[in-house]
Amino acid sequence: MSAPRPWNLVAELTYRCPLRCVYCSNPLDFARVSDALDAPAWCDVFEQAAGLGVVHVGLTGGEPSARRDLEEIVAGAARAELHAHLVTAGTPLSERRLEALAAAGLRSVQLSFQDVDRDASDRIAGRSFFEQKLDCARAVRRLGLPLTLNVVLHRHNLSRVREIIALARALDADRIELANVQLHGFALRNAEALLPSRAELDAASETVRDETLRSARPEILFVLPDWYRDRPKPCMGGLGARTLVIDPSGRVLPCHAAASLPGLEFWNVAHRSLREAWEDSPGMNAFRGEEWMQPPCRSCPERFRDQGGCRCQAFALTGDAAATDPACSLSPHHEVVLRAREGAERAHAVALRYRDATPG
Amino acid sequence: MSPEELESALRTLLAERYHDHHPFNLRMHEGRLSPEEIRTWVRNRYYYQTRIPIKDGIILAKAESPEFRREWLHRIRDHDGDGPGDGGLELWLSLAEAVGLDRSEVERLTLVLPGVRAACDDYVKLVESSDLLTSVAASLTEMSAGEIMRERLAAFERHYPWVGEEGLRYFRSRTVQAPRDAAHGLHFVLAHARSDEDQRRCIAALERKCEILWRLLDAIEAAHARPRLAPGARLRVDPAGTGDLVVMAERAIRLSPSGREIVELCDGTRSVEAIASLLRERHPDAEGIEDDVHEFVAGLRRVRALEAA
Ligand code: SF4
Ligand code: SF4
C-alpha cells in the first residue's frame, strides 16, 4: 500500500535517564540499545524527515538532556524548519543549558512531574529530583517558552489531582497532560500496585471538570483510562499513519513501543534512507490500513476511530500483536482487563518495581 | 426540599453564576468599555431581545391555565408594546441610536456574532424542548435582572455620558418590570416543583440559562479581543504541499488561503471585529465573511494557536 505523509517525528535520542520511574514506557531491554546516532546523523535525519512532510520533532528518550550534543541536535531541527519540542524529566538541565537550547532554536518544552512533593515524587522516580524539576519549569517560563507538564496518574497520586493542577498553575504552565497509566512496558510489571479504583478515577474526573471551568489556564488534558471505558484508546490515528519514531540505535518505528512487538523487521537510518524505512520496511507496513485486523475489529464500525486499539497492549496482554486490544469489551480476552479492574478495587500494598536494566 | 429551601438554592445559583460576574459586564459597569465595545454589545444584545417575546410565546402555548396565560401575556406586551414605536424592543432600538448605531442595520440582524446567535437560539431551543415548569424556571434569571439594570443605569449615567438620557429608557423600564415578572415566575416554580426530581430539573434549567447568558458575553468579549499567534506557534509554508500551516507544540493546522489571510492580520493590534471589517472591505461580495472570521478565530483560540494580546 502507498505510505501516508508523516507529520511528526519522535526522536528518541538516548535511553539513558537519571530517573527510574516505575511506569517508564521505554522498552524493557532499553539498556541494550546504545546511542548510535551522533548529532550530524540526527541533523541529517531531520532534513530527510522535512522532505517527507514532517513539521514537528519531539526530542525525547530516556532523558534527552543526558546528551551533551543536544544543542547541536536542536540547531539541526531548527535548520530543517521543524518545531523542536523537548520532552524532559528536567534533569540535568540548568537554566544556562536551557538558554543555550532556546538560542539554538528550541520552541517548546514538556516536563514530567511524578507528584506534588518531594517524598511522593521520589517514591515513583526512585531518585530525588523534585527541586530540579521546579527550577527547570521556572527557567522554561522565564525564557518565554511554552510549557506542558506531564503527569502519569495512578493510585498513588490520583487523589492529589487538584494539587497537581494547582502546581501547574503556580508554575504558569500552558498545558497539563494527565496521562492515566497504561498496561504495557514497565507499568504492566507494576499494574497491581498502580491501577486506581473506579471511585478514585471518578473523583479525579470530577475535580478535573471543576478545575477546567475555573480557569482557561492551564489547558487540561485528561482522558479516562481505556481499561475502564470498555473501548480502547485510539492509536495515534493508526500505526505508520502520521508519526514516525526513531530509537537511539537508529531504527525507524511506527510507535515508541513497537520494538517490543515480535517478528517485525524495522529498518535503520544507518543503512537506508528515511523514506525507504518509512514507506517500505515490513514492520512499518505491518499495521497500516486494516488488512491485518482480526475479528471482531475487522468488521467493526468503530475501527476507523480506534484502529483496534493499542498493538503493544494487545501483544502484552494476549501474546498476539494483531489481536483486538483487550481494553475493548468486544475482545475475547477482555476478562484480563476485567480482572485487573477487580484487583484495583481491593485495597492492597504491593511493592513497586523500579525501571532497571534487567528485563523480566 | 421545602419551597424555602428551593428558593434559596435558586438564589445561591444566581449569586454564583449570573452574568453580572462576567468580566465583560464588570468592565461595562466599571466604565472601562470603549464606544466600539458598547456598540457591539448593544447591537448583539438586540438579538437576545428579539428572542424574548418568541420564547414567551412558546411558554404561553404550554400553559393550560387562563390565569397563568393572562399574567405571562404581560411580558410579550412589555416587549412588543401596544403599537409601532412602543415597547421594550423599541426602547432598545433607541438605545442603539443613542450609542451611534444605524437603527435599520441593527433591526436587520446582519452583523450579529455567530456565537451570540448560537447562544440565543439555544435559549429558544431549551424552552421549546422543556415542559412549562422548567421553561419558567429558566426565565428566573430575572430575579437578578432588576439589580443588574439599576447598576447598569447608574454606570451609564456616570461613565458613558456620551450616551444620551433618551437611550437609557429601556434600563429604567426593566428595573420595574423584571422584579414583577420574577415574582410571578418564582411563585409558580415554588408552587409546582414539589418532587425532588422536579426541583432538580428546575435548578438545572436555571443553570443552563446562566450558561447561555455567559456564553453570549463570551462571544462579545471575544469579538474585541486582539488575537495574535500564541507563543511557540508559527505560520509557515507547508513543506509537502501548496498551502500554509500553523505549527505549534501539540499540533499542526492546515490553513486555506483565506485562513492564511486572517492569521496574517492577527498581529495583536487589531480586534476580531476590525479584522472582519477589513476583510469585508477587501472582499465586498463574499457572503458571510464576518461570521467566517469570528468562527475561524474562535476555533484557533480553542486549540490555542491564537491568544488574546
Ligand atoms: S472491536 Fe476493535 S475496532 Fe471495534 S471497538 Fe473494539 S477495538 Fe475498536
Ligand atoms: S501501538 Fe499502543 S503504544 Fe503504540 S502508538 Fe498505538 S496506542 Fe500508543
The verdict on a CB contact (< 8 Å) between A145 and B239 is no
Q: What is the ipTM of this complex?
A: 0.80
Mean pLDDT computed over A247-262: 88
Lowest-confidence range among A206-215, A350-359, B79-88, B192-201? A350-359
Mean pLDDT computed over A17-28: 72
pLDDT-derived band at B270 (thresholds 50, 70, 90) equals very high
Q: What is the pLDDT of residues B4-13, one digit of tens each?
A: 999 999 999 9
At A360 the pLDDT is 41
Q: What is the pLDDT of residues A282-329, one digit of tens each?
A: 999 988 888 899 989 999 999 888 889 988 889 888 989 999 999 999
R_g over Cα of chain B? 22
Using a CB-CB cut-off of 8 Å, the residues of chain B touching A175 are 249-250, 304
Q: What is the mean pLDDT of chain A?
A: 87
Positive or negative torsion for Cα A232, A233, A237, A240: negative
Q: What is the pLDDT of residues A82-92, one digit of tens each?
A: 999 999 988 87
The verdict on a CB contact (< 8 Å) between A81 and B249 is no
Q: What is the pTM of this model?
A: 0.80
The Cα A191–Cα B291 span in angstroms is 50
Which residue in B228, B245, B247, B250 has the most chain A C-beta atoms within 10 A of its own C-beta, making it the best mutation to test that interface?
B250
Burial class of B278 by CB neighbour count within 10 A (0 to 12, 13 to 18, 19+): middle
Residue A49 pLDDT greater than 90, yes or no: yes
Closest ligand 1 atom, residue A329 Cα:
6
Nearest CA of chain B to the CA of A122: how many Å? 28
How far from the centroid of its chain's Cα atoms is residue B205's Cα?
17
Q: What is the pLDDT of residues B198-256, one digit of tens each?
A: 999 999 999 999 999 999 999 999 999 999 999 889 999 998 877 899 999 888 999 99
The verdict on a CB contact (< 8 Å) between A146 and B240 is no
If one residue of A300, A307, A313 were mutated to test the ligand 1 pocket, choosing by the most ligand atoms within 8 A of its CB, it would be A300
- The 8-class DSSP code of residue B104 comes to H
Q: What is the pLDDT of residues A268-280, one digit of tens each?
A: 999 999 999 999 9
Positive or negative torsion for Cα A300, A302, A307, A309: negative
Nearest CA of chain B to the CA of A228: how many Å? 26
Lowest-confidence range among A128-142, B194-208, B263-277? A128-142
Closest protein CA for atom 5 of ligand 1: A302
At B144 the pLDDT is 93
- Chain B residue with Cα closest to A176: B250
Q: What is the pLDDT of residues B85-110, one digit of tens each?
A: 889 999 999 999 999 999 999 999 98
Query: Which ligand is closest in space to the CA of residue A255?
Result: 2
Mean pLDDT computed over B151-166: 93
Higher pLDDT, B259 or A185: B259
At A344 the pLDDT is 74
